[in-house]
Amino acid sequence: QQQVKQSPQSLIVQKGGISIINCAYENTAFDYFPWYQQFPGKGPALLIAIRPDVSEKKEGRFTISFNKSAKQFSLHIMDSQPGDSATYFCAASNYGGATNKLIFGTGTLLAVQP
Amino acid sequence: NAGVMQNPRHLVRRRGQEARLRCSPMKGHSHVYWYRQLPEEGLKFMVYLQKENIIDESGMPKERFSAEFPKEGPSILRIQQVVRGDSAAYFCASSLDRVANEQFFGPGTRLTVL
């Protein structure tokens, strides 16, 4: 019940295209859903996050879509650029819980071809 | 305005030795999380600490692993009698408080056990 399932495992997109990464969770107590971007040899960096009181959040070229009833959320990267090539992790946590530990998906390796 | 600092960045140990990983949170942050990332996998929560207290250690292996966050100084993740399976990247994250949600990650310590 603590799992977050992420797909696809890897993704190749042409420059200018749309990258879509999907995540699903089981624990209905999760109420904070961040996406992290990680470049090789670096730590994860927060990209964008959403709370379940909204169905969509947009920041620049990055959009999170959230479907509470389906317990799914996705990251859309519009106008994908070679510099977006990285590993993307979705995560979830329980805001009201005793801890704020993040449960991560297994990651998606994105390659944007020029 | 320094971010989360971790040292060493790379650590090589032989089987049976001890590994000590240090994490200095962002200025003003009193909450520290440790995560482990095995090759080709996502990050797994290990332990959550506040100053002088372990709040959640549900992700820590029962033996050989310990963590502390003293009143003064960095947080320490200690692995005794390391084995090859301990080889991984260990990331520390800090947050301002539990309610603030956002966790800022350090660059990680890459542990290699020979």
What is the tens place of the pLDDT at every residue in B44-93? 999 999 988 999 999 999 899 999 999 999 999 999 999 999 999 999 99
Measured between CA atoms, the residue of chain B closest to residue A33 is B101
Q: Is A98 on the interface with B (CB under 8 A)?
A: yes
Q: What is the pLDDT of residue B99?
A: 66
Q: Residue with structure tokens 């994860």?
A: A44
Indicate the pairing of strand A10-14 with strand A108-113. Answer: parallel
Give the pLDDT band of residue B102 (cuts 50, 70, 90).
confident
CA torsion, points A11, A13, A16, A18, in degrees to nearest 10? -50
- Tokens 């020979």 belong to B114
Query: What pairs with residue B12 in β-bridges?
Result: B112
What residues in B contact A36, CB-CB < 8 Å?
A: 105
Amino acid present at B88: A
Mutate to test the interface with A, among B47, B60, B105 (most CBs of A within 10 A): B105
Task: Count chain A–chain B contacts defined by CB atoms under 8 A.
Answer: 63
SS3 A98: coil
Give the C-alpha separation, B52 to B31, whole Å. Answer: 10
Chain B touched by A43 (CB under 8 Å): yes
Q: What is the pLDDT of residue A99?
A: 77
Backbone angles phi, psi at B65, to 5 degrees: -105, 140
Predicted local confidence at residue B39, as pLDDT: 79
Quick check: B2 pLDDT over 80? no
Each residue's pLDDT expressed in tens, for chain A with a length of 114 residues: 678 999 999 999 999 999 999 999 999 889 899 999 999 989 999 999 999 889 999 999 999 999 999 999 999 999 999 999 999 999 999 876 677 889 999 999 999 999
B12 pLDDT tier (thresholds 50, 70, 90): very high
Please count the other Cβ atoms lying within 10 Å of the Cβ belonging to residue B31.
22
| Contact residues on chain A for B102, CB-CB shorter than 8 A | 34, 46, 49
Q: Could you list the beta-strand ranges (E) of chain A.
A: 4-7, 10-14, 19-25, 33-38, 45-50, 56-59, 62-67, 72-77, 86-92, 103-104, 108-113
